[in-house]
């Protein structure tokens, strides 16, 4: 199946997953096949599940590099395709995950940005959003769907779709950056114009909010973070939060946030919660404050009430991650401040389905990584 001889392939069913196992050694520049986790149709063509397949891997063409992926990370949206119908897995199937880091193992003709041995991280939009305004067609190149994903031992793509890994970060740490970290950076700096001493409200302790905490604290801002876990809030204070609020024990948590600012409000909100948090977060904004609308964990319904907003000179931004240039600028900031991502748990490649289940149902802070 999928081009493999019958005596080298077998299907082994496990919970919610079907595996295709082949005889594969360590990834190399000469390796003819690669293993990758794809979103594939379930039994009888019904539903969608993660499927481990072994497929041919091509040599890099002009302007392309071949990368041995050594770590990937998950984001909250990654289990989404498993709740919908999807195509059968195979040589051209949808490879999962936008985030991944590794090492260049081969280069095609004309490559100038990288050489063999360089450590690289894939950009969220691959090579479709380098700088400036994002073209509408870039949405068709999002890694992990609809563009090729990073949960593959080897990937081949344009050198324009990768950035250099900061020297001080491990592959696991670097793999957490493309989606969550860039989103937080763009929220605070590109659209928010973050200044020292700005109060920054962060909702929860997931990937985007955790990076927002680290970045804001490093920039001399004053992060305030919410969570239902006192243990996570204690960790957030250790990482630079000047204020914390347990939204479970404080249902009117916006009032506590305002109290922490002396009643003046926050200058920045990274809004990831959606319909259940948006109005409360709006109530915390200071005059001239900025809200980045980047998530909808509780659903995307509702509306922004205009009454009373214009008199407060509020600003709103809605966007999708950022460009390769944003990624590279963020990396310079991270390097300058020695920021290390918060990694809650690392899964092995063969345990990818468990990582997907954990990101959807588990209790974690920061990022969840799959080591290849």
Interval 247-268: pLDDT, tens: 999 999 999 999 999 999 999 9
The per-residue pLDDT for 1 is: 28
* Separation of first and last alpha carbons in the chain: 23
Residue 84 token pair: 């919908």
Evaluate whether 244 touches 226 at the Cβ level (below 8 Å): yes
Collapsing DSSP to helix, strand or coil, 157 comes out as: strand
**Architecture of the structural domain at 7-21+58-72+121-177+322-372:** Alpha-Beta Complex (3.90)
DSSP state of 52: E
- Superfamily, domain 192-318: NAD(P)-binding Rossmann-like Domain (3.40.50.720)
Please state, as a whole number, how many other Cβ atoms lie within 10 Å of the Cβ of residue 43.
9
Q: How far apart are CA 160 and CA 63, in angstroms?
A: 8
Indicate left, alpha or beta for 204 from its phi (over 0: left) and psi (-120 to 50: alpha).
Answer: left
Q: Specify which residues 37 forms β-bridges with.
A: 52
Which string of DSSP letters, residue by residue, matches 277-310? THHHHHHHEEEEEEEEE---TT-S------TTTG
The per-residue pLDDT for 243 is: 98
Collapsing DSSP to helix, strand or coil, 234 comes out as: helix
Query: Which H helix or E strand runs over 36?
Result: strand 33-41
Evaluate whether 128 touches 158 at the Cβ level (below 8 Å): no
The domains of the chain are located at 7-21+58-72+121-177+322-372, 192-318
The per-residue pLDDT for 362 is: 83
The per-residue pLDDT for 305 is: 65
Collapsing DSSP to helix, strand or coil, 237 comes out as: helix
Please state, as a whole number, how many other Cβ atoms lie within 10 Å of the Cβ of residue 248.
12
Query: Which H helix or E strand runs over 212?
Result: helix 207-218
The per-residue pLDDT for 307 is: 67
CA nearest neighbour of 102 among 34, 45, 46, 182: 34
Evaluate whether 322 touches 186 at the Cβ level (below 8 Å): yes
Contacts of 234 (CB under 8 A, 6+ apart): 244
**What does the radius of gyration of the chain's CA atoms come to, in whole angstroms?**
21
The per-residue pLDDT for 306 is: 64
The per-residue pLDDT for 296 is: 59
Contacts of 37 (CB under 8 A, 6+ apart): 50, 51, 52, 95, 96, 97, 151, 152, 352
Alpha helices in 45-194 (DSSP H): 171-174, 182-185
Q: How far apart are CA 51 and CA 21, in angstroms?
A: 10
pTM value? 0.90
Q: How far apart are CA 277 and CA 109, in angstroms?
A: 50
Evaluate whether 18 touches 49 at the Cβ level (below 8 Å): yes
β-pair type (33-41, 94-95)? antiparallel
Indicate left, alpha or beta for 193 from its phi (over 0: left) and psi (-120 to 50: alpha).
Answer: left
Spans in the chain with pLDDT lower than 50? 1-26, 298
């Amino acid at each position: 199946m999928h081009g493999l001889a019958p005596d080298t392939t077998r299907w082994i069913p496990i919970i919610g997953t079907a595996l295709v196992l082949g005889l594969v050694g360590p990834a190399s520049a000469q390796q003819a096949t690669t293993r990758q986790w794809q979103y594939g149709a379930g039994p009888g063509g019904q539903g969608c599940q993660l499927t481990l397949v072994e497929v041919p891997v091509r040599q890099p063409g002009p302007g392309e590099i071949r990368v041995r992926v050594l770590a990937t990370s998950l984001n909250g949206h990654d289990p989404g395709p498993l709740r919908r119908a999807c195509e059968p897995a195979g040589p051209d199937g949808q490879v999962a995950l936008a985030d991944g880091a590794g090492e260049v193992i081969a280069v095609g003709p004309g490559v100038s940005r990288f050489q063999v041995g360089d450590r690289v991280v894939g950009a969220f939009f691959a090579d479709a959003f380098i700088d400036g305004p994002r073209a509408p067609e870039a949405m068709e190149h999002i890694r992990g769907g609809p563009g090729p994903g990073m949960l593959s031992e080897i990937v081949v793509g344009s050198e324009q779709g990768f950035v250099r890994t900061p020297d001080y970060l491990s592959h696991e740490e670097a793999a957490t950056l493309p989606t969550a970290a860039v989103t937080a950076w763009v929220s605070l700096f590109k659209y928010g114009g973050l200044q020292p001493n700005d109060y920054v409200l962060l909702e929860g302790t997931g990937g985007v909010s955790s990076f927002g905490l680290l970045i804001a604290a490093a920039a001399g801002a004053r992060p305030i973070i919410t969570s239902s876990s006192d243990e996570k809030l204690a960790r957030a204070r250790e990482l630079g939060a000047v204020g914390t609020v347990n939204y479970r024990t404080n249902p009117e948590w916006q009032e506590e946030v305002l109290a922490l600012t002396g009643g003046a409000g926050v200058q920045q909100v990274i809004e990831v919660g959606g319909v259940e948090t948006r109005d409360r977060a709006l109530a915390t904004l200071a005059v001239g404050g900025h809200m980045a609308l980047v998530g909808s964990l509780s659903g995307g319904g509702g509306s922004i009430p205009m009454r009373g907003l214009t008199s407060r000179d509020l600003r709103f931004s809605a966007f999708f991650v950022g460009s390769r240039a944003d990624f590279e600028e963020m990396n310079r900031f991270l390097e300058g401040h020695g920021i290390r991502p918060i990694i809650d748990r690392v899964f092995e490649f063969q345990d990818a389905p468990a990582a997907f289940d954990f990101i959807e149902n588990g209790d974690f802070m920061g990022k969840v990584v799959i080591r290849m």
